[in-house]
Amino acid sequence: MGEKDITEKTLESYNDVFADILNALLFNGKQVVDPNDLEDRNPHSFYKADGKVRELERDVVKYWKKHNIRIACVGMENQTDPDPYMVLRVAGYNGTEYRVQMNSLPKGEKPYPVITIVLYFGYKGHWNQPKTLYETLEIPEELRPYVNDIKINLFEIAYLTREQVNLFKSDFRVVADYFVQMRETGEYTPGNEVVAHIQEVLQLLNVMDKENVLRKN
């Protein structure tokens, strides 16, 4: 696992940052998700394939609860480069979580929704890989009516507008601003934001700057 991946996950794992990302991207800045209503979920799941038990690891995943009742399971996946199989990966993550519910929920209790959002941090160009299952698969026309389509919830952080960046209330605003500036000018000028998780933010920006220097050289 790369240093950048670790620092991204570490920052997003904080409930205030995780909730802020959801509120800004899913609810247009409305404070729907309270950080206190989030509960960590083990990002490691296991499944059996070819007679062997294999591990499935997500980036960050949390339960969203109200009054000890689970509303949803929400996962975040970070991508710096477009992945042609991202739709299949997300389908696997969500399907595994539903399987866990099916095996663990008390009889008669309804399952809760599983949501995965993909944060794309590339700033050299837009996401250019499939966003739906139909785009991912080669489907004979006669079978298309029987194949259910799936789409990913993809957010291109570097292509957010200034208004969208300002919707963030947590340290993620600094991260989003960094990628927007890098897309616009190729350079980053820090703002005057008060940072709560200063070590994690500085470490992430430092890692990104190192990568940018390597790319330029």
Q: Which two tokens stand for residue 70?
A: 């689970």
Residue 60 C-alpha from the chain's centroid: 7
Q: How far apart are the C-alpha atoms of 213 and 203, rounded to whole Å?
A: 15
Q: Which two tokens stand for residue 148?
A: 């259910």
Reported as half-sphere exposure (CB side, CA atoms, 13 A), residue 210 has a value of 9
What pLDDT, on the 0 to 100 scale, is given for residue 217?
Answer: 36
Helices assigned H by DSSP within the chain: 3-12, 15-26, 86-104, 133-136, 162-165, 172-185, 198-216
183 and 159 in contact (C-beta within 8 Å)?
yes
Q: How far apart are the C-alpha atoms of 19 and 34, rounded to whole Å?
A: 6
Domain count, the chain: 1
Residue carrying the six token digits 């059996």: 48
pLDDT digits (tens, 9 = 90+) for 114-162: 999 999 999 999 999 999 999 999 999 999 999 999 999 999 999 999 9
Instruction: Give this prediction's pTM.
Output: 0.89
What's the average model confidence in pLDDT over 169-177? 96
- Residue 185 neighbours by CB under 8 Å, 6+ apart: none
Radius of gyration of the chain (CA): 19
pLDDT at position 5 over 50: yes
Which DSSP state fits 214? H
Confidence of residue 214 (pLDDT cuts 50, 70, 90): very low
Q: Which domain covers residue 167, as residue numbers? A: 3-216
pLDDT digits (tens, 9 = 90+) for 22-81: 999 999 999 999 999 999 987 766 555 566 655 567 899 999 999 888 999 999 999 999
